[in-house]
Amino acid sequence: MLAWPRYFYSAALYALSPLVGWRIWREQVPTYSRLQRLGFEREPRPEGPLIWLHCASVGEVRAAKPLIEALANAYPHHCLLVTTMTATGAQQVQALTHLSPNLRHRFLPLDFPGSAKRFVHHWQPALAILFETELWPNLLHACAAERIPVAVVNGRLSVRAFARYQRFPRLMTQTLENITWLAAKSAVDAERFKTLGLPAERTQVVGSLKFEITSPDNAWEESERLRRSISQPTGKRPIWVAGSTRDGEECHVLAAHRSLRKMFPEALLILVPRHPPRFDDVAHTCEQAGFAVARRSLNQPVTKDTAVYLGDTLGELGMLYAAGDVAFVGGSLVPLGGHNVVEPASLGRFTLCGPSLENFDDVAAPLIEAGALTPVADAEALGKALMDAFSDPATTAQKGAQGQRVVAEERGALARTLEGLARLL
């Protein structure tokens, strides 16, 4: 029987089901049954032990890639089920199927009591792993009912999420009772989980898995090939990359690019929007702003007149970061908490971002201190920072190298996480 906090939570979820259903209808891949969202599964469960890892969307899948690869190597006889909420997350997981023949993807069911129970009962994981802040009360209850250990890895609670959860103290205490082990990314996050009701003895601070990011084997080769194809014959064309940009942010990025081209008329912007449904709109925005655009998805050539190269593909952000001299990480000039600043830093690229970094403040701090990451307030400041960076390429390259050093020094969370998961398995 539902305890009353979870009862009211479930009732609210049912009341919002038309809105939730519309969102799920949009977040779909044609080859998947929408019944997965209700916990129904057409295929039988594979034989043998199974590890379930849930990542909300594309950013979490990217950050979890080192963990996914390590689990596939450490437990080759386990099926590794990765769930996501979004279609882009699903596509990102599908791009990782080469890591293991036992890796498969499903959409996470909605957190209705029946859906959660059906999902957990069908898959019967030996271990459930939730990435970062995926605290679903009914799913966690279903795991506890089946005596399945639950680990939260790279556990984090932003200021915003912490404040939101604090409004429901009884529900959160009841939910956190079902977590077996928390691998927190920082002491601050561990303390926030403790405040919400997670016992301290179930918590370990392991560091951030975002520092474990590695480049694909062919990233440098592909980036050099791309750079040669888009540079001027002299090879001196200034190239900067704006990655994971969000709605309302491209106008700031394009304004900064316009300022940069006043000093460096041949400068090229590689623009990589966060969400594929926006690719066409962003291309139109660039053209409306008067920039000549070439689209990667259409294999359009970059000429000397091209001002913006639109990276409208999936799974290539790291390679595109490597093809530039300077990186800007989006989701930060709009109040969305930012995206992964470690990825371009790990590639040795001097990195810029906006002021909104709430989701990455812990990994950003050592990069800022080392001078490898510079926050800017607005489009004007971004344009000036770009002009300064391209006016002194030697110092810019040195800052990029500092970022690479910081990332190398901060690694270690993956080994500590795997050690904790091994105890649960």
Q: pLDDT of 122-172, one tens digit each?
A: 999 999 999 998 899 999 999 999 999 999 999 999 888 999 999 999 999
Amino acid 235: pLDDT? 64
The span from the CA of 81 to the CA of 68, in Å, is 10
Strands 293-295 and 79-84: unpaired
Mean pLDDT of 227-240: 80
Residue 24 pLDDT > 90 = no
Residue extents of the structural domains in the chain:
23-205, 219-410
**Has 410 been annotated as catalytic?**
no
Token pair 């660039």: residue: 286
Phi/psi region, residue 334 (left: phi>0; alpha: psi -120 to 50; beta: rest), is: beta
> Phi and psi (nearest 5°) for 379?
-60, -40
pTM: 0.83
- Mean pLDDT, the chain, rounded, equals 93
Per the DSSP assignment, residues forming a β-bridge with 308 are 269, 293
Q: Are the folds of 23-205 and 219-410 the same?
A: yes
| pLDDT tens digits, one per residue of 261-282 | 999 999 999 999 998 999 999 9
Task: Answer yes or no: are the C-beta atoms of 110 and 142 closer than 8 Å.
Answer: no
More confident residue, 195 or 36: 195
Amino acid 2: pLDDT? 62
What is the separation of C-alpha 194 from the centre of its chain, rounded to a whole number of angstroms?
Answer: 25
Q: For residue 173, which of 403, 9, 369, 375 has the smallest C-alpha distance?
A: 9
The span from the CA of 354 to the CA of 350, in Å, is 14
Task: Answer yes or no: are the C-beta atoms of 375 and 353 closer than 8 Å.
Answer: yes
What's the one-letter identity of residue 168?
F
Q: For residue 350, which of 241, 227, 209 has the smallest C-alpha distance?
A: 241
Amino acid 359: pLDDT? 84
Most confident option among 9-18, 223-232, 373-382: 373-382
Amino acid 261: pLDDT? 97
Choice among 158-172, 204-218, 278-292 with the minimum mean pLDDT:
204-218
Mean pLDDT of 363-388: 97
Task: Answer yes or no: are the C-beta atoms of 109 and 136 closer than 8 Å.
Answer: no
The span from the CA of 180 to the CA of 424, in Å, is 8
| pLDDT tens digits, one per residue of 298-346 | 999 999 999 999 999 988 999 999 999 999 999 999 999 999 999 999 9
Mean pLDDT of 347-360: 95
The span from the CA of 149 to the CA of 144, in Å, is 7
The span from the CA of 210 to the CA of 221, in Å, is 23
SS (H, E, C) the chain: CCCHHHHHHHHHHHHCHHHHHHHHHHCCCCCCCHHHHHCCCCCCCCCCCEEEEECCCHHHHHHHHHHHHHHHHHCCCCEEEEEECCHHHHHHHHCCHHHCCCEEEEECCCCCHHHHHHHHHHHCCCEEEEECCCCCHHHHHHHHHCCCCEEEEEECCCHHHHHHHHCCHHHHHHHHCCCCEEEECCHHHHHHHHHHCCCHHHEEECCCHHHHCCCCCCHHHHHHHHHHHHCCCCCCCCEEEEEEECCCCHHHHHHHHHHHHHHCCCCEEEEEECCHHHHHHHHHHHHHCCCCEEEHHHCCCCCCCCCEEECCCCCCHHHHHHHCCEEEECCCCCCCCCCCCHHHHHCCCEEEECCCCHHHHHHHHHHHHCCCEEECCCHHHHHHHHHHHHHCHHHHHHHHHHHHHHHHHHCCHHHHHHHHHHHHC
Q: Indicate which residue of 27, 43, 47, 60 is catalytic.
A: 60
Overall fold of domain 219-410: Rossmann fold (3.40.50)
What's the one-letter identity of residue 102?
N
Count of C-beta atoms within a 10 Å radius of residue 56: 18
Mean pLDDT of 10-29: 79
350-388 core/surface letters (b: 16 or more CB in 10 A; e: else)? bbbbbebbbbbbbbbebbbebebbbbbeebebbbebbbe
Per the DSSP assignment, residues forming a β-bridge with 310 are 271, 295
More confident residue, 62 or 240: 240
Choice among 107-111, 201-205, 248-252, 374-378 with the minimum mean pLDDT:
107-111
Overall fold of domain 23-205: Rossmann fold (3.40.50)
State percent of the chain over pLDDT 70: 97
The span from the CA of 354 to the CA of 251, in Å, is 14
Amino acid 214: pLDDT? 79
Residue 23 pLDDT > 80 = no
Residue 233 pLDDT > 60 = no
Mean pLDDT of 23-40: 80
